[in-house]
Amino acid sequence: MSEKILIVEDEAKIARVLQLELEYEGYQPSVVHDGLEAWGMIQETGYDLYILDVMLPGLSGMELLRRIRRKGTDDAVMMLTARGTTVDKVTGLDQGADDYVTKPFDMEELLARVRVLLRRKGKPAVAEEELVFKDIKLNLSRREAYRGDHLLELTPREYDLLVCFLEHPYHVLSREQLMDRVWGFDYAGETNVVDVYIRYLRQKLDKPFASSYLHTVRGTGYVLKEKSR
């Protein structure tokens, strides 16, 4: 079952775009435009992630956040607002928000943050039990990776990198996207760590086999696709 996300946003166009993008990613988003109505839904239904606008009619996003946290649940909460001041951000984080995104935002960045939050809260990043590409198979519950019948001995970082590529085959992923999805937004290191781990992953995923899957797109990033040697 895919993760349930409640979007509480009074700007209808923004809410609709978020809903469509999250549905495309395989989640189950619901939309509400009023804080009081949202609180009623929250009391009746459990959600894996809340995306809350700060300025809402009925109840503010901050008040919704406080009520969610008073319930004692560990559900992920992302605050979404046009405000960009440090005071607003600190207030939200102090009240228990897991992340804070300022409008206007980049959709790919927001989706990456959603994936990070759900992983941190112990939710699977995808609904499927397995990810498959050609002769690569990942068992998500056991965190095992195979190429054909060969078990790949991957480190946790290598495994998470491979998950990213299998979730988006044939899509070029930049170093920044990979870093956000695997290392998280609070990682303070250099982006060249991605290149290092891509090299490690290639040694196990591609080198022993007749065909290679991980390819460099010069000046952009990396892509998973089939290409015979």
Residue with the larger pLDDT of the pair 183 and 42: 42
* Predicted pLDDT at 82: 73
Can you tell me the mean pLDDT for 164-183?
88
Contact indicator for 92, 54 with CB cutoff of 8 Å: yes
Residue with the larger pLDDT of the pair 151 and 106: 151
Give CATH 1.10.10.10 domain extents, the chain. Answer: 130-228
* Beta strands 173-174; 150-152: pairing state: unpaired
Read off the pLDDT band of 94 (50, 70, 90).
low
Give CATH 3.40.50.2300 domain extents, the chain. Answer: 4-120
Q: Over the chain, what is the mean pLDDT? A: 84
Fold of 4-120: Rossmann fold (3.40.50)
Residue with the larger pLDDT of the pair 109 and 185: 109
Tokens representing 88?
């607003």
228: pLDDT strictly greater than 60: no
25: pLDDT strictly greater than 80: yes
* Predicted pLDDT at 71: 77
What share of the chain has pLDDT > 90, as a percent? 45
116: pLDDT strictly greater than 90: no
Q: Decide if domain 130-228 falls under CATH 1.20.1250.30.
A: no
Rg (CA), the chain: 19
* Predicted pLDDT at 143: 84
CA neighbor of 197 nearest in space, from 211, 180, 179: 179
152: pLDDT strictly greater than 70: yes
Quickly list DSSP for 131-169. EEETTEEEETTTTEEEETTEEE---HHHHHHHHHHHHST
* Predicted pLDDT at 84: 55
CA neighbor of 75 nearest in space, from 133, 121, 17, 22: 121
Read off the pLDDT band of 74 (50, 70, 90).
confident
Tokens representing 202?
């290639």
Task: Kindly report the pTM of this predicted structure.
Answer: 0.53
